[in-house]
Amino acid sequence: MTSLATRITGSSNRHVGLHHGMGHVPPAIHPEVLHAARAELDAKIGQGRLAEEEDIPNLPYLNCIINETLRLYPAVPLLVPHESSQDCTVGGYDVPRGTMLLANAWAIHRDPNTWDEPEEFKPERFQCEGGKKEAGLRMLPFGSGRRKCPGEGLAMRLNGLALATLIHCFEWEKLPGEEVDMTEGPGLTMPMAKPMEVVCTPRHTMLHALSQL
Ligand code: HEM
């Protein structure tokens, strides 16, 4: 059985979401999250095969982890600049036609007036019926309206598949003596300031499935 130190860096939206997601999963940080996600994977998929795209909608807790990660670490924190096509009033402010508008999704996702314990990583907050839909406009990682991200469905499935595989097949531990630093770095897509480095070891029970790759 081999162990390797993994360095996950983010250059695309998908990688940013993924490595922030994994940053929360190593047992030393949130062991209960890792164990709950793995229990769901083992119960729904078993240990004889890898997760497939069709499995992802049937893994509600895994999707909660991804939603909670996108809430705390939206990959595009100010969304994309928009321009008002006509004079309008937003929240009591008069906005002339032609004004550049930025929606601060990062701040909306951490608003203490609308979220319970907004700074806490609690995937189960999305477990209520309706999940992310229930959150409405408090949750904008993909924007909203007619210019919202058309890749949301694909992104959720790809993130789901990658995260499911990493949790299902590997044990995750911090490097000895080191904490995972979740500090955000500069940049439009909110990368981690320090790339995450953790130790991952194949799960013994998943070696057969992994060897089929
Ligand atoms: C986790 C992954 C992703 C996140 C967080 C994300 C987020 C966003 C956001 C916030 C916007 C701007 C929405 C707005 O204007 O308010 C956007 C736009 C867009 N995204 Fe994504 N995206 C992701 C993945 C993808 C993927 C996989 C694709 C394509 C396969 C994609 C294609 C697009 C396109 C074409 C637009 C421009 C839409 C328009 O202006 O009409 N995105 N995305």
Region of 82 on the Ramachandran plot (φ > 0 left; ψ -120 to 50 alpha; else beta): beta
Q: Which of 142, 144, 156, 163 is the best mutation target for the ligand 1 pocket, counting ligand atoms within 8 Å of the beta carbon and taking the most?
A: 142
**pLDDT value for 187:** 78
**pLDDT value for 21:** 60
Question: Are 199 and 4 contacting, i.e. CB atoms less than 8 angstroms apart?
Answer: yes
Q: Is 9 helix (H, G, I), strand (E, B) or coil?
A: coil
**pLDDT value for 26:** 54
Report the chain's terminal Cα–Cα distance, integer Å.
16
| Low-confidence spans in the chain with pLDDT less than 70 | 1-28, 128-131
Q: DSSP labels for 95-145?
A: E-TT-EE---HHHHHT-TTTSSSTTS--GGGG-STTHHHHHGGG--TT--G
**pLDDT value for 1:** 40
**pLDDT value for 82:** 94
Tokens representing residue 38 in the block: 């793995």
**pLDDT value for 22:** 61
**pLDDT value for 169:** 95
Question: Are 105 and 139 contacting, i.e. CB atoms less than 8 angstroms apart?
Answer: no
Atom of ligand 1 nearest to the CA of 70: 5
Q: Is the CB of 78 under 6 A from ligand 1?
A: no
**pLDDT value for 13:** 46
**pLDDT value for 185:** 81
**pLDDT value for 134:** 78
Residue whose C-alpha is closest to residue 115's, from 130, 103, 126, 104: 126
**pLDDT value for 24:** 61
- The pTM score is 0.87
- Which residues are annotated as part of the binding site for heme? 149
CA atoms within 13 A on the CB side of 43: 11
